[in-house]
Amino acid sequence: MSTLTRHVALVSESSSVSLAQLTPVAAAMQKQVTRDFGPIWGIHATVDAFENLDSVPVDYWPVILKDNINQPGAAGFHTDDNGQPLALVQVDATWPLTVSHETLEMLADPSGNATVAGAPPPQAPKPVSGFKRVVYLREVCDPCEDGSFAYSVNGVQLSDFITPHYYDPGQSSGVRYSFTGAVKQPHWVLDGGYVSFGNPKDNEWYQIFVEGKKVQLRKLGVIKASGGKSLREAVDGKVRVARVDDRYRLKPATAAALKPPDLDSFADEQAVRASKLREFIRGLR
C-alpha cells in the first residue's frame, strides 16, 4: 500500500511577506521535501503557496506567517479543533528557515505526539546521564536548529534535519545523522539546538540545550498530552513558562527584523531564462 500524500499550504498574513515572496520559498520547500527529506523519512508531500486562508483546500495543513503570533516563540505548532496540524511563524529576517523547520516537523509528526525510545543524550549531566532509557519527542529540526547549519535550495536557506539514524543505539561509520552531516552521532545536540525527552518511569520531561557551546539541562516537570493539546504543544508551553524570566521571545519582531530576506540569489539567470521563454512564445505560429 502506497503512503498517502500529505499537503502543506504556506500562507502569509504578514504585511511584510507578499505572495510573490512566498512562492519561491514554497518551490524550494517542495524540492527539499521531494529530493531530500521525503526519501529519508518515507514521506510524500506537496508544499504550495496560497494567497490567503480562504483559498486553502480543507485537506491542506497550513503554515501561516504573521507579523506577530501573539505568543512567546518565533513559531508555534498547534492542532486545530479536528486534531489537524497547523503552524504559526512570526516573520523575521530568516522566516524561510523557520518555515522549513516547522513544515518538516509537521510532516514528520503531524499529531505532535510521536516519541522514540533510546539512551539519554551523551551530553546530559547527572541525574539524566544515569537513566537507562528515555523517550524523545520526534522533532526533526530541533537538534540542529541554528541557522549556521542551514543549507541552500534554489538560493533559499532551509533547515537541516536529523535522519532516523539519530535514534540509533550507537555510532557507526558511514552513517548520516543529519542531512548536512553536521550532527556526528546519535542523540547529539549542536550549538543553538535542543532536544526534548521524558523519563518513562515517572513521566518527568527535560530538555538538553546548547548555547555558546555550553550544554544546559532544563527540567520541565511531569507532562502529559491532555485538554486537546498534543505532547509537543505541552512541552512548548512548559518551556515558555521556564523561560519567562528571560522574556523568551516575548516581543514581536522589530521593523528591521521584518526586512525580507534575499530571495534573489539566481535572479539574473532567471530573468535571462524568462526573456528567452517569452521570445520563444512570441515566435510560435
- pLDDT tens across 226-253, in order? 777 899 988 988 887 776 555 444 444 4
Residue 247 pLDDT:
40
Q: Which residues of the chain have pLDDT under 50?
A: 1-2, 247-257
262 inside domain? no
**Residue 195 CB neighbour total at 10 angstroms:** 24
Residue 82 pLDDT:
82
176 inside domain? yes
151 inside domain? yes
The tally of domains found in the chain comes to: 1
Q: Dihedral, CA atoms, 85, 90, 96, 99, nearest 10 degrees?
A: -10
253 inside domain? no
Residue-wise pLDDT tens digits, 77-118: 787 878 889 999 989 889 999 999 999 999 999 999 999 999
Assess whether the previous peptide bond of 127 is cis (omega < 30° from 0): yes
Residue 71 pLDDT:
61
Angle between helices 19-31 and 95-108 (to 10 degrees): 50
Residue 73 pLDDT:
53
201 inside domain? yes
Residues present in the chain in total: 285
Residue 237 pLDDT:
84
282 inside domain? no
118 inside domain? yes
The residue range of the domain holding 136 is 6-248
Residues 6 or more apart whose Cβ sits within 8 Å of residue 198: 115, 134, 135, 137, 204, 205, 206, 223
Sign of CA dihedral 93, 258, 62, 266: negative
182 inside domain? yes
